[in-house]
Structure 1
Amino acid sequence: MTRTTARLAAALSAIALVAVAAPASAHVGVSSPDAAKEGFGKAVFRVPNESDSAATTKIVVTLPAETPFAFVSAEAKPGWTATVTKAPLDKPTTVGDYDLTEAVSTVTWTAKGDGGIPVGQFDEFAISGGPFPDADSISFSAQQTYADGEVVDWDQPQAEGEAEPEHPAPTLTLGEPTGDHHGAASTTADTEDAAATTEASDDDSSTGLGTWLGGAALLVALAALVVSLRQNRRRA
């Protein structure tokens, strides 16, 4: 192998590594400013549009049947219709201080008219309720419907120690109990808005930094390739 070929191979390898390190495609996720074990709080589902040509027109969030919520309400969103559906439980269940024979099973947001989440954008959909279970985390499932009829189910469990599945189920990490059963943080509107704003800012900063670093690494690799080819021509 000549020096030129070797340098070319090294440069191409560097470029390939940058491509591999690029961020994975976005997926439906869930976060909260105040959800805690055995408390009440807010769960915010972030939904990206991954289609190249169609808007997202419907989102269905399914709550886990094994850990039902005593109370659930859906966030009202301009341009969307929110529907809360209840279902009977297999057997009476006590959740916190509440005896349940039925519980909310799904929350559905449907876009009005020709609205929805446009291509290349995302939106957030929230529920408020509880009590959350006494567990480290809680997993939901989400179904995303596009205007062209495509349906994507986000419901694959994440196995410990394994790579993330293609369509992972949205999983929320719960805070420790506070003793007042009202969540890990203040539930005032100002606190929730501040936490949501901070989270969005952190996500945007992380994404921007990752993109900048990936682009810088690609430029370095290409520059090395150009220098190598010029040096080889001079020697020839």
Structure 2
Amino acid sequence: MSGRALPTGVAPATTGAGPAHPVTLGAAAVPAGFNPAGAADGGASGAPRGVRTLRRAARGLVVAALAACLVAVLPAAAFAHVKVTADAAVQGGYAALTFRIPNEHDDVSTTKIEVRLPSDFPLASVSVKPHPGWSYEIEKTTLATPIESHGAKIGEVPSKITWTASGEDSAIKPGEYDEFSVSAGPLPDTDQLAFKTLQYYSDGEVVRWIQEQGTGDEEPERPAPVLELTAKGAVAPAPATAARAATAAGTGSDAGVSWAIGLSAASLVICLGCAVALALRWRRTG
């Protein structure tokens, strides 16, 4: 061989039958970013970049699936609200009002209902229809300025009605509703009346249906029951027609509640199933 020097960092090869020694590369010869361990991205975990990306995607999908489950379940309760209806509610007249009270809970009963009568439009006369299994009490308040009804000055008017279940058998159980009726009047000269209502549950919780909805605003979470009044001289709906409409609306509302709850339950099962599948896939790829 000639006496020409080999490049720095390269060991001379051996000849003969024995195995050749591997060529040793100096530090300067190692390409930038090369991973001796053979990992695609050189990360400490040794996992290829594609696997780590899949892990992150799986974690994100699990979180998104769980969030979707909550979004699907929570709106169901919004379908069931306390309502007040009447066959005919004409300004200046009397009306039979019906308060529909649904039980939104799945493990406790409604044991007491408290309806606050409008303070800005006092009702001179209120009488309660007896309800089996429930007692009632009417509270009155003294007005700063008496109102006139049928030619008489009235200084004290009903302000609140409270119905109380006599026992658990009479309470409104989960998944059920009940109706409570009163006769009230004379109705004031206004477009509508709000009846703020408190709903008491057997576990001590009190749901306050007292939020009033402004014109053009979205419906609040706990809206106060509102009765629409017909102006004097206007053609009011016939009692039978109004009764059928109220019944149909109530039936539709109940069906909507059941449908929404069923849909939410199905969505919850599907979402949880997807979340579990994604979590298992994530663990296998890890």
TM-score (norm 1): 0.71
Q: Which residue is 1:64 aligned to?
A: 118
SS of 1:2's partner is: helix
Q: Is the 8 A contact 2:119 2:159 kept in 1?
A: yes
Equivalent position of 1:111 in the other structure = 165
Deviation at 1:25, TM superposition (A): 3.9
Tell me by how many angstroms 1:178 deviates: 5.5
Aligned to 2:220: 164
Q: 2:61 aligns with which of 3, 10, 35?
A: 10
Distance in 1 separating the partners of 2:209 and 2:137: 20
Q: Does residue 201 in structure 1 map to residue 251 in structure 2?
A: yes
How much identity, in percent, do the aligned residues show?
A: 31
Q: Does 1:100 align with 2:154?
A: yes
Greater RCO, 1 or 2 (C-alpha within 8 Å, sep 6+) = 1
AA paired with 1:177?
A
Q: Point out the more displaced range, 93-102 or 67-76.
A: 93-102
Which stretch shifts more, 138-147 or 119-128?
Answer: 138-147
Look up the SS of the partner of 2:226 in the other structure: strand
Whichever residue aligns with residue 87 of structure 2, its letter is D
The separation in 1 between residues aligned to 2:100 and 2:136, in whole angstroms, is 16
Aligned-residue CA RMSD (Å): 4.0
Instruction: Name the structure 2 match of 1:31.
Output: 84
Question: What is the correspondence of 1:119-158 to structure 2 with a 5 Å cutoff?
Answer: 119-120=173-174, 121-147=176-202, 150=204, 152=206, 154=208, 156-158=210-212
Q: How many residues align?
A: 229
Structure with higher strand content: 1
**Residue in structure 1 matching 2:237, options 175, 181, 185:** 185
**Mapped contact 2:84–2:99 kept (Cα < 8 A):** yes
Deviation of 1:63 after TM superposition, in Å, equals 0.6
Distance 1:153 1:221 in 2: 29
Unaligned segments of structure 2, at least 5 residues: 1-51
Give the match's secondary structure for 2:130: coil
Higher mean Cα deviation, 60-69 or 75-84? 75-84
Which consecutive aligned stretches of 4+ in structure 1 deviate over 6 angstroms post-superposition? Answer: 226-236
- Provide structure 1 residue ranges, at least 5 long, that are not aligned to the other structure: none
What is aligned with 2:37?
A: none
Residue aligning to 1:90:
144
**The residue matched to 2:187 in structure 1 has which SS?**
coil
CA distance in 2, matches of 1:214, 1:50: 14
Larger Rg: 2
Structure 1 residues 38-63: Cα deviation after superposition (integer angstroms, max 9, x where no partner)? 14323322334466765433322221
The DSSP-based 3-state class of the residue aligned with 2:260 is helix
| 2:261 is the counterpart of 1:211 | yes
Give the AA of the match of 1:112.
Answer: S
In structure 2, C-alpha distance between the alignment counterparts of 1:152 and 1:94, rounded to whole Å: 36
Does the 8 A contact of 2:209 with 2:225 survive in 1? no
Which amino acid in the other structure matches residue 43 of structure 1? Answer: L
